[in-house]
Amino acid sequence: MANILITGGAGYIGSHTCIELLEANHKVIVLDNLSNSSEESLRRVQQLTRKTLTFIEGDIRNSDDLNAIFTNHAIDAVIHFAGLKAVGESQKIPLAYFDNNISGSITLVKAMEKAEVFTLVFSSSATVYDEANISPLNEDMPIGIPSNNYGYTKLIVEQMLEKVALADDRWSIALLRYFNPVGAHKSGLIGEDPQGIPNNLMPYITQVAVGMREKLSIFGNDYETVDGTGVRDYIHVVDLASAHLCALNNRLTYKGCRAWNVGTGNGHSVLQVKNTFEEVNGIPVPFEFAPRRSGDVAISYSDNSRAREELGWEAKYGLNDMLADSWNWQKKNPKGYRD
């Protein structure tokens, strides 16, 4: 049993990870400024697990908030989710992304160093891979400069953490490169709660299915893929959450900084996702083909053998589960946590 600080723990992936950690009998301390989440998610996490966690409303950019946590709780490790994540928004307000994602991470790492806490799991993204790589993407492939500012912040923080670990061998850092997280907890009590018009495919599909939006626009049907639409590696958020527990266990044993892909290793096209959603849930999803979205690649999916071999992690859920669970959450919470 360890004391784990989870930054951004009230958010989509963080709240699912809180469940995994509480169920593994860890003590959970969440720091979140609620800029893209609600405390209701944490109330439901506690309801589901019948365990309590400590919530601190605060900001990773505020060293006083961080120092107080490290002073008041004997933290063993940090899982760092906090940050902004909307690709389009990052093009309009880059400084907010540099501030939250890069400065925030620097402030966190400085506070950890001061408190002599050297175990960190960082939320990175498959977006750090050079676009010229051919899927399946493995961790030894070259990274590239992402075309959007959000992805750029992930690359910078990854590189910064690598250099920090190189300079001081007390550090033990996991860089988890997520592919496309979707789905929700089986209970339908917690899930993804996007603000405004969703950027990502899955919440857009569920909002069309529930009648909040008229139809799905499929961005591009002329890619060199199975049916012309973009291919991605969708990963159930509960599987993604469990990867954090595996990474944590690994990092509490090994030193240095290492990256792992977290994906299923399977690619699915947008049309396959839409059609399977309709089959699994029996709900039509009206759609139209629209022009390609700028910055999108045709195909991105993982080689996940490093995570399976080194972390002992494996994805338990397939596309049908992801689509059923996404719909279950949306159906039960048409307005997300705002009901």
**Cβ pair 30, 18 in contact under 8 A:** yes
**Cβ pair 126, 179 in contact under 8 A:** yes
Q: Does 180 bind ligand UFG (CB under 6 A)?
A: yes
DSSP state of 103: I
- Residue 41 or 328: the one with the smaller Cβ distance to ligand NAD is 41
Residue 335 contacts by C-beta under 8 Å, 6 or more apart in sequence?
none
Q: Does 75 bind ligand UFG (CB under 6 A)?
A: no
- Residue 85 or 258: the one with the smaller Cβ distance to ligand UFG is 85
For residue 107, CA distances in Å to 80, 101, 141, 174, 245 come to 12, 10, 29, 18, 24
Residue type, 39: E
- Residue 117 or 155: the one with the smaller Cβ distance to ligand UFG is 155
Q: Which of residues 79-138 bind ligand UFG (CB under 6 A)?
A: 85, 87, 125-127
How far apart (Å, rounded) are the C-alpha atoms in residues 234 and 274? 13
Interaction partner, residue 20 (ligand NAD, ligand UFG, none; CB < 5-8 Å by kind): none
Interaction partner, residue 204 (ligand NAD, ligand UFG, none; CB < 5-8 Å by kind): ligand UFG
Interaction partner, residue 61 (ligand NAD, ligand UFG, none; CB < 5-8 Å by kind): ligand NAD
Q: Closest distance between ligand NAD and the C-beta of residue 226, in Å?
A: 22
Residue whose C-beta lies closest to ligand NAD: 11
Q: Which of residues 206-245 bind ligand UFG (CB under 6 A)?
A: 216-219, 230, 232
Ordered DSSP codes for 160-210? HHHHHHHH-TT-EEEEEEE-EEE---TTSSS-----SS--SHHHHHHHHHT
Tokens representing 278 are 């309709």
Interaction partner, residue 232 (ligand UFG, ligand NAD, none; CB < 5-8 Å by kind): ligand UFG
For residue 245, CA distances in Å to 43, 160, 238 come to 21, 23, 11
The site for ligand NAD (CB under 6 A) is made up of 7-8, 10-14, 31-37, 59-61, 81-85, 100, 104, 123, 125, 178, 181
How far apart (Å, rounded) are the C-alpha atoms in residues 4 and 11? 16
Q: Closest distance between ligand UFG and the C-beta of residue 69, in Å?
A: 27
- Residue 171 or 179: the one with the smaller Cβ distance to ligand UFG is 179
Q: Collapsing DSSP states into helix, strand and coil, what is residue 91?
A: helix
Interaction partner, residue 34 (ligand NAD, ligand UFG, none; CB < 5-8 Å by kind): ligand NAD
Ordered DSSP codes for 138-158? -TTSPB---SSHHHHHHHHHH
150 is catalytic: yes
Q: Which of 12, 97, 129, 150 is catalytic?
A: 150
With CB under 6 A as the contact rule, the residue among 39, 76, 278, 296 that binds ligand UFG is 296
Closest CA to 111 of 58, 66, 171: 66
Q: Closest distance between ligand UFG and the C-beta of residue 146, in Å?
A: 8
Q: Closest distance between ligand UFG and the C-beta of residue 223, in Å?
A: 8
Between 160 and 179, how does the x/- string for binding to ligand UFG read (CB under 6 A)?
------------------xx
Tokens representing 315 are 């994805």
Q: Closest distance between ligand UFG and the C-beta of residue 125, in Å?
A: 4
Closest CA to 149 of 112, 103, 96: 96
How far apart (Å, rounded) are the C-alpha atoms in residues 94 and 48? 37
Instruction: Please give the positions annotated as active site.
Output: 150
Binding site for ligand UFG (CB under 6 A): 85, 87, 125-127, 151, 178-180, 199-201, 204, 216-219, 230, 232, 270, 293, 296
